[in-house]
Amino acid sequence: MSLPAAALTAALLLAGPAVARLEAELSADHMVLDAALRGPLLLAATQSGHLDAFDWRERRRLAPLLVIDAGEGEFPPSVRCVDVSPSGTRAVAAASDDRLRVWSFGADDRASGPRQLDLPRAATACRFLDDERVLMGYMTGEVSLVEVTNGRERFRRQLEYDPVYVLAPSPDGRRVAVAFRSSRIQLIDAASGATVRVLRGPRDSIYGLAWLGEQRLAAAGKDKRLLVWNLAAPESAPRVVYQGDRYITALAADRPRGRLAFTLEGERIGVVEVASGLVTHVLEGHTAPIQVLLFADQGRSLVSAGNDARVLVWDVSPGSAQ
């Protein structure tokens, strides 16, 4: 069932605004381009060369893990992506200075580092496959798999000639969904980088990818639609869960509950139950485009951040809408 923007607006006018409760508001040093969670620790990659750190449960800002100084008369390199390994023992961040930084976390939860690894060019996306391997995406349409211990590149493949926008490993880590500035999505084998399937259906650039399970993938972006594929059905067309009036700039999945968080018109955020198409929460608070959505605390909370340099934490547990 697809829920157009006009239908959503009419439903909210009849039923009253289902507004989620804001739990915390934190400030980053600049626009947030990407973020990652490690329990209560939130790492936010910013336009101004910072990797800011927050304790989102205690609602406080910590010392940044990284501050890249700018040369005289220059802007600092932007930190374009950040991720935390599945076990939480490592974190990586890639900046526009062609370097990948690697941190290690000890038993006391303190981060050591960063170690610096040289990349062939500036990365646009980075995601861990496991504690040792990180998949990188580049402006050239290439992807590479890097070992963070020694910096060895296991493979590098030219998938397209458009920039890589999003990397999304499947829950089992065997496949990766790759979205580009073009409207195509490729599923690649995580071990080799070989393309195993090309998904068609989007009409423009994809800004967000999220796995709902091993066989369900959601995507959203510039064509203003929220799409979900059933990958168990070969060559199946995606289901349109939502169609709006503005670009959908960020997307996140709450897999256990079958929910998606996505950006709405007016710098708002919606939480939709995929099976029914019912929007259960609407989040209002940002004043500029949202770049990051992350479910936290087993889906009870949602973290959002973006161009207004604010990190907001919302209560999106079932029955929490006001």
- Domain for residue 309, yes or no? no
Q: What is the DSSP string of 119-164?
A: -SS-EEEEEESSSSEEEEEETTSEEEEEETTT--EEEEEE--SS-E
pLDDT band for 71, please (50, 70, 90 cuts): confident
Number of domains in the chain: 1
- Predicted pLDDT of residue 321: 56
| Residue among 143, 141, 124 at smallest CA distance from 133 | 143
- Structural element, H or E, at residue 9: helix 5-15
- Domain for residue 64, yes or no? yes
169: CATH: 2.130.10.10
- Domain for residue 194, yes or no? yes
- Domain for residue 295, yes or no? no
Q: What is the tens place of the pLDDT at every residue in 236-287? A: 789 999 999 999 999 999 999 999 999 999 999 999 999 999 999 999 999 9
Range of the domain at 72: 31-253
- Predicted pLDDT of residue 72: 64
- Domain for residue 167, yes or no? yes
Q: What is the tens place of the pLDDT at every residue in 277-292? A: 999 999 999 999 999 9
- Predicted pLDDT of residue 10: 40
Asked if 282 and 264 touch (Cβ cutoff 8 Å), the reply is yes
- Cα(322)–Cα(317) distance, integer angstroms: 12
